[in-house]
Structures are given as C-alpha cells and as structure tokens.
Structure 1
Amino acid sequence: MTRKLLLSGILIVSAFLLMGFNFSYPWTKAEKNIVPVKSEVKKADQVIVYYFYAKPRCVSCQKIEKYTKETVSSLNNSKVVYQGINLDDKANEHYKKDYALFSKAVVLSKIVNGKQTEWKTLNPIWTKLGNEKDFKGYVTEQINTYLGE
C-alpha cells in the first residue's frame, strides 16, 4: 500500500514537472512580428482564437476544442473569431514556425488595422482543463484583455 502511494506520488510530481518544463520553453513566449495569412485578416479590429490540433486527437484535446468554441460563441462578439487549424494539413505547416508550436495549442492573435500586433499561446489551459468554469473564465479573460475590455 505504501509502495503504491509512493509510486503514485512520484508519477504525479513527474507529470507536473514535465508540464512546467514544457511551458517554460522560450519559444512559447508571445511574439509581435508574426503576420497572419491575408485571408484571415479583416479590416476591423478583432481577436482570432486559434485552436491548433493534429492527429491523434485525445479526449483532452477534444475537450479543449469544445470549451474554446463554446467560450468564443458565448461572447457573442463579432470581433472575436474562432478558427480550428489542422496542423497535419501541409498548407498549415507555417503556423508551427509562426507561433512556435510544439504541441496542440490555443493561440490568441490580436489584429489592429488589419495587422497582427501581438499574439499569445494560452498554455495554462492544460492545467485548467479539469474545471470547465475555470478554463472558460481564463480564456474569456485573455480575450477581453486583447479586446481592451
């Protein structure tokens, strides 16, 4: 019994360390000089909420997509646009470099006067996935910050 508890504790601590390690890579930091593809740029100011995915799609990844779509929809704001992007599609490979992606991710892109002025990878979603309210609250807060609200 004690041995099982010790092993469980080690596994949990290892998982948290790995998650923290992945989130601390310098290439996950926001860059301001990335320009989205012209077809995605509108003249009006907006926030594009990207969900980048690839196969296989685990239960957690499907939940992230669902919660993100629902959050954007609940805002009922024409300035906030959701886009799911399949990174397995060759035409979308540039996003990996553009947004320094190494895994599935939610990225906010702030568009002002038709140009991307900043972007941010929402890494904390992975730790908020177990609580739908916290997840959606965090994503909403980040979107509102980009909207200036």
Structure 2
Amino acid sequence: MELKNALGICIISFFSATLVMLIARSLDNQAAGRIEQQLMRIADRLETIDASGIGPSGSSSAMNPSASTPNDGLVVHYFFSNTRCVTCRAIEDQTRQALQANFAEQLREGDVVWKTLNYEDPANAKWSEEFEIMMPVVVLTQYQNGELANWKRLDEVWGLVSDQAAFEQLMIDNIEQMLVDADSKRRNESDAAETIPLPDLNTINGEE
C-alpha cells in the first residue's frame, strides 16, 4: 500500500515537473518574443538617429529630418510609405548623400533643409494631396515669408536610382535651379519695393 502511494506521488511529481518546464519554456518564448520586438524598435530608432545625423554626443547636424520648416528657404522632402522597400531606402540614402556632398554650406546656413515624412500618416495627408504623392518620392519645396512659394516633385528618381552619378546630378540641377529662381524672385521684389515714383511736375506747378 505504501509502495502504491509512493509510486503515485512519484508520478504526480513527474507530471508536475514536466508541466513546470513547459510553462517555463512558454514564458521564455514569450519573453524572447517581447525582447525581439524591443530590439526591432531599438534598431528602427537607431536607423532614424543615423539618418538624422545625430552623433554619439547627442548633437544634431544640419541633416536633421525633423527640423522645422524654414520661413525662407528650400526644403528637400523625402516622402516614404509604411512599406520600406530596398529601392525606397536607396532613394532616401542617395538623396541625403547628394545633399551632404554638394550643399553642405546651405544646410549649415539653413538655406536648404532635409526632411523625411511618411505620406501615409494621416497627419501628413495635406502634403500627399498638395503634391499628389502616390508612391515614395523626393519633393523640393521653396518657402518665402513662411508660405509655400514653389515646389517640384522629382519622379525621375525611380528611373535613376541604379545610376548614382545621374541621380546626384538630378538633385544638383533641380536644387540649384530652384535656389536661383528664389534668389531672382527676391531681387525683383526688392527692386520693386525700392522704386520711388517721380513727382508729378504739373501738380507741383499748380497746373491741372
């Protein structure tokens, strides 16, 4: 009788231990899943930090994609979607590299600003409608006195992404042209404001 009881206790203990192990493994898998999700979020955050130009010291460079829109200046937008494909990332990387290589001074001075936005985010719906965005793309926008004065969508980036030299030249040509147009417009407006009308001699002499 005592043997039967001892055997029963052993069997119960065995199944109890097995159940505990299964529960522990289940908890480990759940913990591993949570850790994996956290690592993915950290990786995404690190990628964002790298793209924004924020170094280890925490200081932000002129290539900060969250920089505010300038009152007067040119903004180079990269509009991405919820799905980040290899080609989309290449377009973003090559645009950023072209800016850093050819417009570093303008970036430091704030005459050119780099911004990235998710056009599928409801908060950015006005921009996707304004610029008629249907897929990831680069858009140049010129601001004057806080207002959008001019813009151009560069759909050509998709056809040139495999040719980095041509891609870079596309950026240079369009950015320089927009900067020249904006400068010319400012000069014309300044000249018009400084023009002083000549007095009416007939009025001065009292003649009708």
Fold conserved between structures, TM > 0.5: yes
The one of 29, 43, 48 equivalent to 2:75 is 48
Which 4+ runs in 1 deviate beyond 6 A? none
1:84 to 105, 108, 116: 116
Matches of 1:87 and 1:108, distance apart in 2: 15
Aligned partner of 2:135 among 77, 97, 103: 103
Residue 100 of structure 2: which of 57, 70, 73 is its match? 73
Q: Percent identity?
A: 26
More helix by share: 2
Larger strand fraction of residues: 1
Distance 2:119 2:180 in 1: 30
Query: Unaligned regions of 5+ residues in structure 2, if any?
Result: 1-66, 182-208
Q: TM-score, normalised by structure 2?
A: 0.50
How big is the shift at 1:41? 3.8
Equivalent position amino acid for 2:160 in 1:
K
Larger relative contact order (CA 8 Å, sep ≥ 6): 1
Larger Rg: 2
CA drift at 1:80: 0.8
Give the paired residue count. Answer: 110
Match of 1:59 in 2: 86
Pairwise CA RMSD: 1.7
Q: Is the 8 A contact 2:69 2:75 kept in 1?
A: no
User: 1:54 deviation in Å?
Assistant: 0.7
Q: Give the drift of 1:40.
A: 4.4
- Normalising by structure 1, we get a TM-score of 0.68
